[in-house]
Structure 1
Amino acid sequence: MSWEESTKNKMLNLQLPTDPRWVDIASMNLGDILVDHAYCEQKAASSCISLILKYPDLELLVDTLTPVVAEEWAHFERVMDQLRKRNIPFGWPRKDEYVVRLAQFVKKGGNRMQQLTEQLLMNALIEARSCERFKLLWKNLQDEELKKFYYELMVSEAGHYVNFLELARHYQDEAKVEARWKEWLAQEAKIISELEMRDDRVH
């Protein structure tokens, strides 16, 4: 089954597509993009570990996110391999203004499941936007090795996106999740519209 078929009616729901100029800028600064990407994968693994440690009593969450941790860390290792092949130094992490802005939209307070829903929906959005950006890189890069690389990661990120949404719907009333998801999607589009288009960031 193709990526498009396997995620039909689930992807991506993003309200504002990435400016098509981004991939042209990004393709000229692949070193910076790869370094930022490595840190994104590292943070994604850490985020899943944090959820597992915070909600160890939620069996489905633990069982779902444990393999995601392994996949995200494997992605980090694969990006590091790409950096080494190209003699690109890893360097220091960069502030991810996109994630900072998303985190500011997280509702404070509420019960434990409401807090979990906020984190799951934020993670789902990050995965969705990453998936969309990886699709642009896959379709537009000239480097055949990186094209294949980003296609594989696009497929994986799509699966993680679905994981987070399905967990949110499992642990919280689905109608409430859908209503809040619409608010998250609208806020994410607003953030994307306001952020400066960077040639050294995945997001």
Structure 2
Amino acid sequence: MLSAYPELSNFLPCESPKAWVEWAIENQELMLVDHAHCEKKAASTAMNLMYRYVDRDNLLHKMSRLAREELLHFEQVHKIMKGRGVDYVHLSASRYADGLRKHIRTHEPARLVDILIIGAFVEARSCERFAVLAPHLDEELSKFYLSLLKSEARHFEDYLALAQEYSKEDITQRVQFFRELEQDLIQAPDIEFRIHSGPPSE
């Protein structure tokens, strides 16, 4: 599935562990609930950037479009859940996002740059997981996840382009810092399944 998106595969440091894929297949209701939360959080992240950085025209434009798209995807996931009798309930956050965000620098524009780089990894990893899951799901979910992959595959590039635009220096080294961190988070075992969790702990 990812062969059609080589730039996405090249950006991520590793593939999802096969044990995580098996874990997801066994927990599809939980997967849908967490997926809905992820889409809502993605929209919220975009909106928060718009509120905080009102003087960044290109950011305002791209994040406005992204927020609308993510909210549409939330509605689509929620509709699928309702059709399957899956309740939308609160879930504790995975360690993935917090594990990335705790390394955000506190001074500007470095803070903005780090948030945007993290956004790129979150979006790219989400797409990678849609791709690895799609072949193992029923027709409705498989079709839906492939449609999300197609529509969201560009998001990580938007985040990276904004990060470079607003950085005072080349972002290559900072991207590599978060790439190594992201790989550790994806490969380390987790107790609870989430869309962005690692494989199950033994």
TM-score higher than 0.5 = yes
Partner amino acid for 1:196? D
User: How far does the alpha carbon of each residue in 1:149-180 deviate from its partner, in whole angstroms, 9 at most, with x for none?
Assistant: 000111223111111011111111462x1110
Does the 8 Å CA contact 1:36/1:94 hold for their aligned counterparts? no
Superposition pairs of residues 111-130 of structure 1, within 5 angstroms: 112-130=108-126
Corresponding residue for 1:144?
139
Does the 8 Å CA contact 1:135/1:151 hold for their aligned counterparts? yes
Q: Following the alignment from structure 1 to structure 2, what is the Cα–Cα distance between the partners of residues 91 and 180?
A: 36
Corresponding residue for 2:182?
188
Shift in Å, 1:22:
1.7
Secondary structure of the structure 1 residue equivalent to 2:11: coil
Does the 8 Å CA contact 2:127/2:152 hold for their aligned counterparts? yes
Partner amino acid for 2:32? L
Superposition pairs of residues 7-46 of structure 1, within 5 angstroms: 7-9=5-7, 11-46=9-44
| RMSD between superposed Cα atoms in Å | 1.9
Corresponding residue for 1:63?
61
- Normalising by structure 1, report the TM-score: 0.89
**Corresponding pairs, count:** 196
Q: Following the alignment from structure 2 to structure 1, what is the Cα–Cα distance between the partners of residues 163 and 60?
A: 13
Does the 8 Å CA contact 1:48/1:69 hold for their aligned counterparts? yes
Shift in Å, 1:92:
1.3
Shift in Å, 1:193:
2.4
Shift in Å, 1:114:
1.2
The alpha-carbon distance between structure 1 residues 57 and 162, as it changes in their structure 2 partners (threshold 3 A), is: same
User: How far does the alpha carbon of each residue in 1:85-118 deviate from its partner, in whole angstroms, 9 at most, with x for none?
Assistant: 10011111322211111111212x32x2211101
Q: Following the alignment from structure 1 to structure 2, what is the Cα–Cα distance between the partners of residues 189 and 3?
A: 18
Q: Following the alignment from structure 1 to structure 2, what is the Cα–Cα distance between the partners of residues 157 and 9?
A: 13
Secondary structure of the structure 1 residue equivalent to 2:153: helix
Shift in Å, 1:10:
5.1
Corresponding residue for 2:98?
100
Superposition pairs of residues 48-59 of structure 1, within 5 angstroms: 48-59=46-57
Q: Following the alignment from structure 1 to structure 2, what is the Cα–Cα distance between the partners of residues 3 and 70?
A: 25
Q: Percent identity at matched positions?
A: 33
Corresponding residue for 2:159?
164
Q: Following the alignment from structure 1 to structure 2, what is the Cα–Cα distance between the partners of residues 9 and 22?
A: 23
Does the 8 Å CA contact 2:2/2:131 hold for their aligned counterparts? no
